[in-house]
Chains A and B, each alone.
Chain A
Amino acid sequence: EAGVTQFPSHSVIEKGQTVTLRCDPISGHDNLYWYRRVMGKEIKFLLHFVKESKQDESGMPNNRFLAERTGGTYSTLKVQPAELEDSGVYFCASSQEGHLTDTQYFGPGTRLTVL
């Protein structure tokens, strides 16, 4: 079974540019999450999809961030325009059930560098 995949693995962009990150969850997992770790700090939750619906987007830092999951399969996270403080590692995770005890399986992450 393939794990969670993310693309690209690395992205280096200039301040003000746009970047789109992609996440492909484990097949059959309805729940998809985005997290990020900025500047070596704690891993922070961004948002949670159940199928194509946003269940919780309380962690999205501002309106420069837009996440979509059309069709309930893969998800994209767009940052527009990117700022220096957006640099960090963006992780995607998926889980089969929607329960507190369910294991979230993480992808390898996308390392974003904004210059």
Chain B
Amino acid sequence: AQSVAQPEDQVNVAEGNPLTVKCTYSVSGNPYLFWYVQYPNRGLQFLLKYITGDNLVKGSYGFEAEFNKSQTSFHLKKPSALVSDSALYFCAVPSNNDYKLSFGAGTTVTVRA
């Protein structure tokens, strides 16, 4: 079964510092990987996805993610974090035979001023 894991429950960074949210995957076949963000009292918002091609994927709000096949990882990154980036981040992967997404447990990001 396709699955993703987010090894960190929480990530705390200072504003202006680089932000990394980790995600590892276990898939058979081609990996298709997604990142979503949930801001406080809001729904899930799509950030970016990896389908094929360039290992560095650029997304919304200045985020990017690096696909690493050898390490089976798809870490989300932002070079300079903002306080407004404080939110809950989810990595997700669709199952092979249908389109339902399997989500990681989520990582709470807190950016302090």
Contacts and interface: CB of A to CB of B under 8 A. Distances in A.
A28 interface: no
Contacts of B46: 103-106
Nearest to B44: A106
Contacts of B94: 100-101
B99 interface: yes
A100 B100 contact: no
A107 B49 contact: no
B103 A48 contact: no
Interface stretch (A14-22, A62-70, A91-99): A91-99
B101 to A, nearest CB: 6
Chain B interface extent, by class? 20 to 34
Nearest to A45: B100
Interface in B79-113: 90, 94, 96, 98-106
A48 B43 contact: no
Interface in B7-65: 32, 34, 36, 42-46, 49, 51
Contact of B98 (A48, A91, A104, A107): A48
A105 B44 CA distance: 8
A16 B96 CA distance: 37
A56 B98 contact: yes
B60 to A, nearest CB: 11
A53 interface: no
Interface of B: 32, 34, 36, 42-46, 49, 51, 90, 94, 96, 98-106
Leading 3 A-B pairs by shortest Cβ distance: A108-B43, A106-B44, A45-B100
9 contacts: A4-B43, A43-B103, A98-B99, A100-B96, A104-B46, A106-B43, A106-B44, A106-B45, A107-B43
Given A48-B98, A95-B99, 8 more contacts: A41-B105, A42-B104, A43-B90, A48-B99, A101-B32, A101-B51, A101-B94, A105-B46
